[in-house]
């Protein structure tokens, strides 16, 4: 008699089957929630920062949700999904990375209670989808349109983004800086687009964050080459970006020079000198007086001899420029890179008023300003008293720039301070009453979940969260859409008048992404490990 | 997903195989086929416990499968003649395929996309010419179908950003240095000038290579490998658009789509076929710049650009879209369709039931079991939707007792509904493949009564 060896008897296993499903789902939700709880205390202007120390002794202090989550090594797959969520929010909007994770955690908590009450996961997931769509409509209803020419509003949103970070005291300096940098990069042919790769941030230890400045030109975090006493300041500069090497010839194939007597040695030295002199003469003949040399993998870009000749020809040399920086540099200088000495022509040079090497902190940088026909780029020099502060300032500046990018993409603002979340919660709960069945129940629960944001903001500020949230609900029910929590005064005020605003895109993408992530977690009912 | 499980149980392999075959042949129904095979085996176990010989069971299953298939054949619909009706059939099939996936919320939009893409293929089942490009950012609704080919690379510095009436040379050659491929080859000279000469000669060689390439009469050059600075500049000076690092797949597709050959040497310009297209330009999607080739020689080519919030979403969207495209392309070939939502299973179950009643002998128990297994599929669909499966199946059975019923499970309302009105369709080929593959797999496992494990291969002693 054939024993059906493979097909396992599933009859008695139906109970264990669902149990495993529930177990897996419960485990996923719990681990995701614990991740959300970990970053909860970083939310808002009174949020705390986290210090992350890695195995090799590296220490980072940050308030940015995406950074915290990406540095945490998470093993549970659902927890990793939350880290991905934060990253997606970072990519989409730049700010609100902590908000999105806290929202997801709160939605998951409600989902857990819904499942325990007997709702089917698919039903809960579908209602979440409807909720997200409707929430975005509510947010649009609260939105205020702005123009890019309204610099003040832009500065206000950038300030709000910076308020929750370590560098919040410097927001009066950094916010206008970010706005100016961003506006100078926007291409009128593509007014809806802001490519953040056109803004370069250079970090230099020393000074304080107050010394951060926006440079309308180019900065290299390197010294000008002084090995042979070259000039450190050039006016009326003609700049060439070269991708070839000013050094003795070296073939691609391996070669060796065989010398059999002293006279030959002399001759070799002389030939080498003449070769390089020839190159330098050609460079000088085109009128070039500043040379930016790309780092080469094939051989030395410059040798002492070539530096000597270049210095004698009064050419300022900056070497070791990375290959991927070349595009940025040529765009800024409005010139083309030169790959071979034969192609060295005047029309490939860029022009600038001043190129000089300045002492900054305990290092030096090369500054190029007054570039003729400068391309649409900007450079920001960030200073700070220690490396941790500089890194966090860099991340905060990036967030502020992303906020402005959001505004360029979608020109609407909404009030901050928890106002949008309470408004959404209220309107969605009212809408839920008009629906039927399980859907209505699910949507009501999820709508209540949105209140976690003002709750957390108040909590982190040391206020009484329940009193604050109920007061907020009351005011919104009376129709005051723009009331929010003012953490500095510790009360509820019209947050719009207090200039706490954020781009519409940050809130809409936060709610959409959080809902999508929670939907995906809810629909998972088994984990398969592949070895 | 099923393919990546560790194959612990030997017989599991045949189940994995049928899922793979289903995917290769038809593209959709991979879960259904495994579920049906499982159900058939579950019923078979019960029969074996009743002391019925497996061969009898197999014979019964075979008869039942044949009967089921005929039942379906009689009831297929074919709208080949009417393009409008056919298109709406395709839309319905696409929507049905997508409704079990992540794209279910935007299924009309994506169904439209998939149908447009497949109709461009004009009957070929070669899905190679449809490229799916994933770009994070935006939302799923921002995805679009583009009637050309998009290459996810940037144009070199200083080169024209737009070319009309392009002749394209697709190549796979190293454009950085020309090394002699003999290990330890070196040149011995006795003076620096000679070294300079050799260097100049190398540069000249590269210049000549570029000249030869240009002599093909092209205005666009796409290389799989790196194009270093010097040749890049030479191309820019000659006004030729050069693209480097296009990966293997990109090269293959580009060659296929523009009708060109992939060249590795450039000595014989006449023997190399160039690709053609009407317009090449640089476009922006989100914040990335890509190269768009439109008006390509191979008119069937198109690109679907998927946008979405995160990598997870994009990957799953790509898989779902691939499923839909496979099914649609199969349907364009074999245009017979059926209603969905459990309707075919109930129809087959009814016919098989009647066959069981007519057949004498123990085989009829097996045929009966087949019918029960078939009914398990709509049961599971109802269960997964959170509906009361027992109630729904009994209602469905009662409906099907009437002649020419079009009843199936409507998961949106949670009741028995009219599949014709709802427009829930499936391709006949998919269903046929499911029935036949599942039956075969179940048969094969039933025939096994002993598992012989061979000793592991003894390793020879290495001296």
Query: Of the given ranges (A141-150, A180-189, A294-303, B299-308), which has the lowest mean pLDDT?
Result: A294-303
CB pair distance less than 8 Å for B446 and A5: no
Query: What is the rounded distance in angstroms from the CA atom of residue B444 to the CA atom of residue A430?
Result: 58
For A7, nearest residue in chain B (alpha carbons): B41
- pLDDT tens track for B216-226: 788 888 888 87
Q: Does pLDDT of A199 surpass 50?
A: yes
Question: Which pLDDT belongs to residue A100?
Answer: 93
Q: Are A356 and A422 found together in one domain?
A: no
Query: What is the rounded distance in angstroms from the CA atom of residue A224 to the CA atom of residue A318?
Result: 5
Q: Are A26 and A120 found together in one domain?
A: yes
Q: Does pLDDT of A5 surpass 60?
A: no
Residue B199's contacts (CB-CB under 8 Å, 6 or more residues apart) are: A249, A250, A251
Give the minimum alpha-carbon distance from B146 to chain A in angstroms, rounded to a whole number.
21
The enclosing domain of A460 has a CATH number of: 1.10.560.10
Average pLDDT of B281-298?
A: 79
Tell me the two tokens of residue B205: 């060689």
Q: Does pLDDT of A355 surpass 90?
A: no
Could you give the 3-state DSSP secondary structure of residue A394?
A: helix
Q: Which residue has the tokens 């929670």?
A: A518
Report which of A87, A154, A63, A95 is spatially closest to residue A505, judged by C-alpha positions.
A95
Indicate the residue of B191, B446, B447 with minimum beta-carbon distance to A271: B191
Average pLDDT of B266-273?
A: 76
Give domain status of residue A256, yes or no: yes
Question: Which pLDDT belongs to residue B460?
Answer: 66
- pLDDT tens track for A387-443: 888 888 888 888 888 888 888 888 888 988 889 999 999 999 999 999 888 889 999
Give the minimum alpha-carbon distance from A436 to chain B in angstroms, rounded to a whole number.
12
- pLDDT tens track for B435-458: 988 898 888 888 877 667 777 777
Q: Does pLDDT of A497 surpass 90?
A: no
Give the minimum alpha-carbon distance from B382 to chain A in angstroms, rounded to a whole number.
12
Average pLDDT of A162-179?
A: 84
Residue A309's contacts (CB-CB under 8 Å, 6 or more residues apart) are: A276, A277, A280
Residue A16 annotated as catalytic? no
Question: Which pLDDT belongs to residue A531?
Answer: 64
Residues A225, A318 contacting (CB under 8 angstroms): yes
Per-residue burial over B78-96, b = 16 or more CB atoms within 10 Å of its CB, e = otherwise: ebeeeeeebeebbbbbbbb
> DSSP states of B174-193 as a string?
-BS----SSTT-EEEESSHH
Greatest Cα pair distance, chain A, in angstroms, is 101
Q: Are A239 and A360 found together in one domain?
A: yes
Q: Which of A347, A373, A399 is the last residue of a domain?
A: A373
Q: Are A427 and A351 found together in one domain?
A: no
Question: Which pLDDT belongs to residue A450?
Answer: 93
Partners of A275 on chain B (C-beta within 8 Å) are 192-193, 196
Question: Which pLDDT belongs to residue A227?
Answer: 65
For B447, nearest residue in chain A (alpha carbons): A2
Give domain status of residue A194, yes or no: no
**Bridge pairing between strands B262-263 and B275-285:** unpaired
- pLDDT tens track for A59-75: 888 888 888 888 888 88
Query: What is the rounded distance in angstroms from the CA atom of residue B282 to the CA atom of residue B402?
Result: 61
For B3, nearest residue in chain A (alpha carbons): A530
Query: What is the rounded distance in angstroms from the CA atom of residue A50 to the CA atom of residue A65?
Result: 10
For A258, nearest residue in chain B (alpha carbons): B190
CB pair distance less than 8 Å for A122 and B229: no
Q: How far is CA A56 from the centre of its chain?
A: 24
Residues A521, A32 contacting (CB under 8 angstroms): yes
Give domain status of residue A158, yes or no: no
Indicate the residue of B136, B186, B233 with minimum beta-carbon distance to A253: B186
Q: Does pLDDT of A89 surpass 50?
A: yes
Partners of B451 on chain A (C-beta within 8 Å) are 5
DSSP A333: H
Give the minimum alpha-carbon distance from A198 to chain B in angstroms, rounded to a whole number.
11
CB pair distance less than 8 Å for A7 and B445: yes
Q: Are A244 and A361 found together in one domain?
A: yes
CB pair distance less than 8 Å for A339 and B232: yes
Question: Which pLDDT belongs to residue A8?
Answer: 37
**Which of the residue ranges A291-300, A301-310, B221-230, B320-329 has the most confident prediction, judged by mean pLDDT?**
B320-329
Per annotation, catalytic residue among A90, A180, A391, A399: A399
Partners of B1 on chain A (C-beta within 8 Å) are 528
**Bridge pairing between strands B144-146 and B302-308:** antiparallel
Average pLDDT of B372-399?
A: 86
Structure confidence at residue A10 as a pLDDT band (50, 70, 90):
very low
Q: Are A228 and A353 found together in one domain?
A: yes
Q: Which residue has the tokens 């930016």?
A: A292
Residues A251, B202 contacting (CB under 8 angstroms): yes
For A198, nearest residue in chain B (alpha carbons): B287
Q: Which residue has the tokens 């008293």?
A: A385
Q: Are A364 and A257 found together in one domain?
A: yes
Tell me the two tokens of residue A496: 């719009």
Per-residue burial over A326-346, b = 16 or more CB atoms within 10 Å of its CB, e = otherwise: bebbbbbbebbbbbbbebbee
Angle at A48 between CA A43 and CA A49, to 5 degrees: 105
Q: Which of A373, A404, A439 is the last residue of a domain?
A: A373
Give the minimum alpha-carbon distance from B100 to chain A in angstroms, rounded to a whole number.
11
Q: Which residue has the tokens 């080169």?
A: B159
Indicate the residue of B38, B41, B48 with minimum beta-carbon distance to A1: B48
Query: What is the rounded distance in angstroms from the CA atom of residue B165 to the CA atom of residue A205?
Result: 53
Residues A146, A153 contacting (CB under 8 angstroms): yes
Give the minimum alpha-carbon distance from B83 to chain A in angstroms, rounded to a whole number.
34
CB pair distance less than 8 Å for B202 and A252: yes
Give the minimum alpha-carbon distance from B396 to chain A in angstroms, rounded to a whole number.
23
Containing structural domain, residue A345: 217-373
Q: Does pLDDT of A332 surpass 80?
A: yes
Indicate the residue of A256, A337, A512 with minimum beta-carbon distance to B188: A256
CB pair distance less than 8 Å for A252 and B42: no
Angle at B29 between CA B23 and CA B30, to 5 degrees: 50
Question: What number of helices (H) and strands (E) belong to chain B?
Answer: 14, 16
For chain A, what is the radius of gyration of the CA atoms? 30
CA–CA distances in Å: residue B310 to residues A82, B262, B289: 11, 35, 19
> DSSP states of B358-378 as a string?
H--STHHHHHHHHHHHHHHHH
Residues B304, B324 contacting (CB under 8 angstroms): no
Per annotation, catalytic residue among A67, A98, A212, A483: A98
Question: Which pLDDT belongs to residue B5?
Answer: 43
Residue A296's contacts (CB-CB under 8 Å, 6 or more residues apart) are: A243, A244, A245
Give domain status of residue A497, yes or no: yes
CB pair distance less than 8 Å for A4 and B284: no
The enclosing domain of A369 has a CATH number of: 3.50.7.10
Indicate the residue of B41, B136, B447 with minimum beta-carbon distance to A91: B136
Tell me the two tokens of residue B382: 């109802």
- pLDDT tens track for B354-364: 999 999 988 89
Report which of B23, B50, B48, B60 is spatially closest to residue B353, judged by C-alpha positions.
B60
DSSP B51: T
Report which of B445, B430, B446 is spatially closest to residue B33, judged by C-alpha positions.
B430
* DSSP E strand stretches across A361-500: 363-371, 378-384, 412-415, 483-486, 491-494
> DSSP states of A310-329 as a string?
HHHTT-EEEEEE-GGGHHHH
**Bridge pairing between strands A378-384 and A213-215:** antiparallel
Q: Which of A340, A373, A406 is the last residue of a domain?
A: A373
Of residues A380 and B79, more confidence is placed in A380
CA–CA distances in Å: residue A282 to residues A288, A310, A312, B165: 9, 11, 14, 39
Structure confidence at residue B1 as a pLDDT band (50, 70, 90):
very low
Indicate the residue of B188, B189, B448 with minimum beta-carbon distance to A5: B448
Give the minimum alpha-carbon distance from A118 to chain B in angstroms, rounded to a whole number.
10
Indicate the residue of B9, B192, B284 with minimum beta-carbon distance to A271: B192
**Hey, CA dihedral for B21, B27, B28, B30, is it positive or negative?**
positive
Report which of B387, B371, B332 is spatially closest to residue B60, judged by C-alpha positions.
B371
CB pair distance less than 8 Å for B312 and A244: no
Q: Are A355 and A229 found together in one domain?
A: yes
For B4, nearest residue in chain A (alpha carbons): A530
Give the minimum alpha-carbon distance from A223 to chain B in angstroms, rounded to a whole number.
25
CB pair distance less than 8 Å for B185 and A268: no
**Bridge pairing between strands B162-171 and B220-223:** parallel
Report which of B392, B377, B389 is spatially closest to residue B31, judged by C-alpha positions.
B377
Q: Are A345 and A431 found together in one domain?
A: no
Residue A251 annotated as catalytic? no
Tell me the two tokens of residue A24: 């897996």
Report which of B345, B369, B326 is spatially closest to residue B32, judged by C-alpha positions.
B345
Give domain status of residue A5, yes or no: no
Phi, psi (rounded to 5 degrees) for B369 = -60, -40
Per annotation, catalytic residue among A62, A67, A97, A212: A97
CB pair distance less than 8 Å for B136 and A88: yes
Average pLDDT of A456-470?
A: 91
Determine the residue among A247, A249, A340 to mutate to test chain B binding: the one whose Cβ has the most chain B Cβ atoms within 10 Å.
A249
Structure confidence at residue B179 as a pLDDT band (50, 70, 90):
low
Give domain status of residue A330, yes or no: yes
Q: Are A444 and A343 found together in one domain?
A: no
Determine the residue among B18, B42, B192, B452 to mutate to test chain A binding: the one whose Cβ has the most chain A Cβ atoms within 10 Å.
B192
Query: What is the rounded distance in angstroms from the CA atom of residue A202 to the CA atom of residue A212?
Result: 10
For B57, nearest residue in chain A (alpha carbons): A2
**Hey, CA dihedral for A504, A508, A513, A518, is it positive or negative?**
positive
Partners of B310 on chain A (C-beta within 8 Å) are 84-85, 87-88, 513
CB pairs under 8 A between A and B: 171
Structure confidence at residue B177 as a pLDDT band (50, 70, 90):
low
Q: How many CA atoms lie within 13 A of B285 on its CB side?
A: 26
Could you give the 3-state DSSP secondary structure of residue B59?
A: helix
Residue A64 annotated as catalytic? yes
Q: Does pLDDT of B11 surpass 70?
A: no
Q: Does pLDDT of A447 surpass 90?
A: yes
Residue A187's contacts (CB-CB under 8 Å, 6 or more residues apart) are: A193, A376
Indicate the residue of B51, B187, B233 with minimum beta-carbon distance to A340: B233
Dihedral of the alpha carbons of A210, A214, A220, A223, in degrees to the nearest 10:
-40
Q: Are A307 and A455 found together in one domain?
A: no
CB pair distance less than 8 Å for B313 and A516: yes
Residue A456 annotated as catalytic? no
Give domain status of residue A192, yes or no: no
Question: Which pLDDT belongs to residue B160?
Answer: 80
Q: Are A225 and A304 found together in one domain?
A: yes
Structure confidence at residue B401 as a pLDDT band (50, 70, 90):
confident
For A405, nearest residue in chain B (alpha carbons): B287
Report which of B136, B133, B155 is spatially closest to residue B146, judged by C-alpha positions.
B133
Tell me the two tokens of residue A317: 């040399």
Average pLDDT of B299-308?
A: 81
Indicate the residue of B5, B105, B451 with minimum beta-carbon distance to A129: B105
Give domain status of residue A193, yes or no: no
Domain count of the fold of chain A: 2
Question: Would you say the pTM of this structure is higher than 0.80?
Answer: no
- pLDDT tens track for B257-269: 777 788 877 777 7
**Which of the residue ranges A52-56, A244-248, A477-481 has the most confident prediction, judged by mean pLDDT?**
A477-481
Q: Does pLDDT of A6 surpass 60?
A: no
> DSSP states of B221-290 as a string?
EEESS-B-HHHHHHHHHTT-EEE----HHHHHHHHHHHT-PEES--S-GGGSPPEEEEEEEEEEETTEEE
Average pLDDT of B88-97?
A: 84
Of residues A43 and B28, more confidence is placed in A43
């Amino acid at each position: 008699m054939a024993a059906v060896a493979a097909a396992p008897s599933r009859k008695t296993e139906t109970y264990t089957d669902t149990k495993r499903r529930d177990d897996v789902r419960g485990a996923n939700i719990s681990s995701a929630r614990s991740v959300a709880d970990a970053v909860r205390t970083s939310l808002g202007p009174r949020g705390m920062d986290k210090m992350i120390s890695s195995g090799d002794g590296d220490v980072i202090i940050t308030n940015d949700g995406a950074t915290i989550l990406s540095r945490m090594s998470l093993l549970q797959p659902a927890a990793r999904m939350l880290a991905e969520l934060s990253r997606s929010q970072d990519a989409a909007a730049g700010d609100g990375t902590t908000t999105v994770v806290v929202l997801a955690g709160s939605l998951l908590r409600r989902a857990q209670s819904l499942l325990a009450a007997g709702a089917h996961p698919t039903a809960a997931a579908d209602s979440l989808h409807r909720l997200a769509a409707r929430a975005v409509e509510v947010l649009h209803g609260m939105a205020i349109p702005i123009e890019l020419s309204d610099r003040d509003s832009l500065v206000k949103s950038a300030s709000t983004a910076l308020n929750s970070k370590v560098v919040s005291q410097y927001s009066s300096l950094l916010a206008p800086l970010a706005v100016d940098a961003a506006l100078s990069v926007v291409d009128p042919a593509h007014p809806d687009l802001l490519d953040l790769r056109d803004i370069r941030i250079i970090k230099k230890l020393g000074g304080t964050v107050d010394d951060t400045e926006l440079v309308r030109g180019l900065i290299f975090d390197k010294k000008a080459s002084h090995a042979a006493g070259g000039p450190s300041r050039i006016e009326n500069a003609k700049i060439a970006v070269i991708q070839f090497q000013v050094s003795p010839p070296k073939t691609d194939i391996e070669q060796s020079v065989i010398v059999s007597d002293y006279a030959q040695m002399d001759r070799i030295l002389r030939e080498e000198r003449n070769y390089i002199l020839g190159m330098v003469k050609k460079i000088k003949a085109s009128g070039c007086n500043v040379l930016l040399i790309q780092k080469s993998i094939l051989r030395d870009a410059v040798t002492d001899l070539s530096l000597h000749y270049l210095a004698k020809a009064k050419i300022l040399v900056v070497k070791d420029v990375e290959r991927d920086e070349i595009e940025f540099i040529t765009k800024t200088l409005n010139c083309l890179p030169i790959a071979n000495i034969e192609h060295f022509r005047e029309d490939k040079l860029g022009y600038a008023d001043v190129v000089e090497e300045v002492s900054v902190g305990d290092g030096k940088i090369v500054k190029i300003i007054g570039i003729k026909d400068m391309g649409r780029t900007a450079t920001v020099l960030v200073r700070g008293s220690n490396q941790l502060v500089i890194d966090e300032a860099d991340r905060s500046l990036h967030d502020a720039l992303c906020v402005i990018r959001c505004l360029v993409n979608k020109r609407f603002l909404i009030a901050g301070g928890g106002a949008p979340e309470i408004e959404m919660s209220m309107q969605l709960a009212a809408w839920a009453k008009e629906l039927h069945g399980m859907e209505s129940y699910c949507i009501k629960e999820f709508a209540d979940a949105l209140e976690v944001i003002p709750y957390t903001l108040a909590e982190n500020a040391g206020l009484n969260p329940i009193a604050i949230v109920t007061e907020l609900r009351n005011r919104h029910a009376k129709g005051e859409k723009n009331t929010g929590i003012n953490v500095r005064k510790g009360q509820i005020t019209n947050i719009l008048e207090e200039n706490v605003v954020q781009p519409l895109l940050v809130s809409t993408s936060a709610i959409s992404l959080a809902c999508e992530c929670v939907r995906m977690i809810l629909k998972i009912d088994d984990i398969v490990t592949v070895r | 997903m099923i393919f990546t499980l560790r194959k612990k149980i030997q017989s599991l392999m045949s189940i994995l195989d049928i899922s793979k075959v289903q995917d290769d042949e038809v593209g959709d129904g991979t879960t259904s086929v495994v579920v049906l095979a499982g159900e058939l085996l579950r019923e078979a176990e019960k029969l074996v416990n009743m002391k019925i010989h497996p061969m009898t069971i197999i014979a019964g299953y075979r008869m039942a499968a044949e009967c089921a298939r005929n039942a379906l054949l009689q009831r297929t619909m074919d709208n080949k003649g009417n393009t409008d009706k056919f298109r709406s059939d395709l839309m319905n099939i696409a929507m049905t395929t997508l409704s079990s996936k992540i794209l279910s919320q935007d299924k009309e939009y994506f169904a439209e996309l998939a149908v447009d893409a497949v109709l461009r293929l004009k009957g070929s089942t070669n899905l190679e010419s449809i490229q799916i490009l994933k770009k994070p950012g935006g939302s799923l609704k921002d995805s679009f179908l583009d009637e050309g080919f998009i290459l996810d690379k940037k144009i070199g510095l200083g080169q024209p950003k737009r070319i009309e009436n392009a002749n394209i040379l697709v190549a796979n050659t190293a454009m950085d240095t020309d090394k002699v491929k003999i290990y330890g080859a070196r040149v011995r000279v006795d003076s620096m000038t000679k070294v300079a000469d050799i260097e100049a000669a190398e540069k000249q060689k590269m210049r000549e290579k570029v000249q030869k390439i240009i002599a093909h009469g092209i205005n666009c050059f796409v290389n799989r490998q790196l194009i270093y600075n010097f040749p890049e500049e030479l191309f820019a000076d000659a006004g030729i658009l050069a693209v480097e690092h296009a990966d293997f797949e990109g090269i293959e597709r580009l060659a296929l789509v523009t009708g060109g050959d992939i060249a590795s040497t450039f000595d014989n310009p006449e023997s190399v076929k160039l690709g053609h297209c009407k317009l090449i330009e640089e476009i922006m999607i989100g914040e990335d710049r890509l190269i768009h080739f439109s008006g390509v020689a191979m008119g069937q080519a198109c690109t679907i650009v998927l946008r979405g919030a995160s990598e997870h979403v994009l990957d799953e969207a790509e898989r779902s879209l691939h499923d839909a495209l496979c099914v649609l392309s199969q349907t364009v070939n074999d245009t017979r369709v059926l209603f969905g939502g459990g309707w075919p299973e109930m129809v087959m179950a009814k016919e098989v039931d009647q066959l069981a009643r007519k057949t004498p002998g123990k085989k009829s128990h097996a045929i009966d079991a087949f019918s029960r297994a078939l009914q398990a599929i709509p049961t599971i669909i109802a269960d997964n939707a959170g509906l009361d499966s027992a109630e729904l199946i009994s209602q469905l059975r009662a409906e099907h007792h009437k002649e020419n019923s079009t009843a199936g499970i409507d998961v949106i309302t949670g009741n028995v509904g009219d599949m014709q009105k709802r427009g829930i369709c499936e391709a006949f080929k998919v269903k046929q493949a499911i029935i036949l593959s599942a039956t075969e797999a179940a048969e094969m496992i039933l025939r096994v009564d002993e598992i012989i494990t061979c000793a592991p291969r003894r390793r020879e002693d290495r001296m």
